[in-house]
Amino acid sequence: MTPQERLIVALDVESVADARAMTATLGEAVSFFKVGMELAYAPGGFDFARELKAAGKRVFLDLKLHDIGVTVERATRQIARLGVDFLTIHAFAQTMASARQGASDGALKLLAVTVMTSYDDADLKEAGYACGVEDLVARRARQARAERVDGLILSPLELAAIRPIAGPDMLLVTPGVRPAGADVGDQKRVMTPRQAVAASADFIVVGRPITRAMDPAAAAKAVIDEIAEG
Ligand code: C5P
């Protein structure tokens, strides 16, 4: 993979028109985009995902599926028909096994979300869990591997602990990345692109440091240079 192929830009915008303007601004600088719930559920959101694919881009649909097994399997099959590259699901064994069935031909890569990074130990206790975040992330990473999920979404600070559990082949994809010297914003636990790649991230997800930059294409190129150093 080239350094450019490792960068996924999060299109966290409210309309297809805004997303189209951003992808036009970025041009050839970026080859992989993340379409989250806000954009996917906007009018024309899924058609836009197809449009990106038709333009030769790679697409990560961040929909975080979680439902009864049969629904997850059938929904995953529909998403696979869109021809996108990555889909997120929650890391519950039943959800992962069902999504695997729905994406059985392997073209759509499934990424499991272990524990939302907005949750801390107190949130898990409140929800009735007897363990903390670290233990639950490790447990779910093991289950994801057992269910033959293709990869995991995780905080860059979890990479070192989780790579040995995930093994060499699972794709580790991390948001919470901030270019050296950039504004951290509302992200609390961050690494630079260089650090994240050095810590074994396969892909990094960057949103606002690129999309809200004065020159987004230049900001993307700077991140790609940092990935290359890592
Ligand atoms: O703008 P920023 O670089 O913070 O965007 C990061 C992207 O990754 C956003 O789409 C955000 O929703 C997503 N994300 C995250 N942290 C997680 C999971 C997803 O920042 N734990």
Give me the mean pLDDT over the 196-207 stretch. Answer: 97
Give me the mean pLDDT over the 37-52 stretch. Answer: 98
Pocket test for ligand 1, best of 7, 8, 11, 12 (most atoms within 8 A of CB): 12
pLDDT of residue 91: 98
pTM of the predicted protein model: 0.96
- Phi/psi at 5 (nearest 5 deg)? -70, -15
CA of 78 to the centre of ligand 1 (A): 25
Coil/strand/helix, residue 107: coil
Mean pLDDT of the chain: 96
pLDDT of residue 188: 74
Residue nearest to atom 10 of ligand 1 (CA): 10
Give me the mean pLDDT over the 157-173 stretch. Answer: 97
Structural domains of the chain sorted by starting position, each given as residue range(s) with its CATH number in brackets: 3-229 (3.20.20.70)
The yes-or-no verdict on residue 186 having pLDDT over 80 is no
> Catalytic annotation on 109?
no
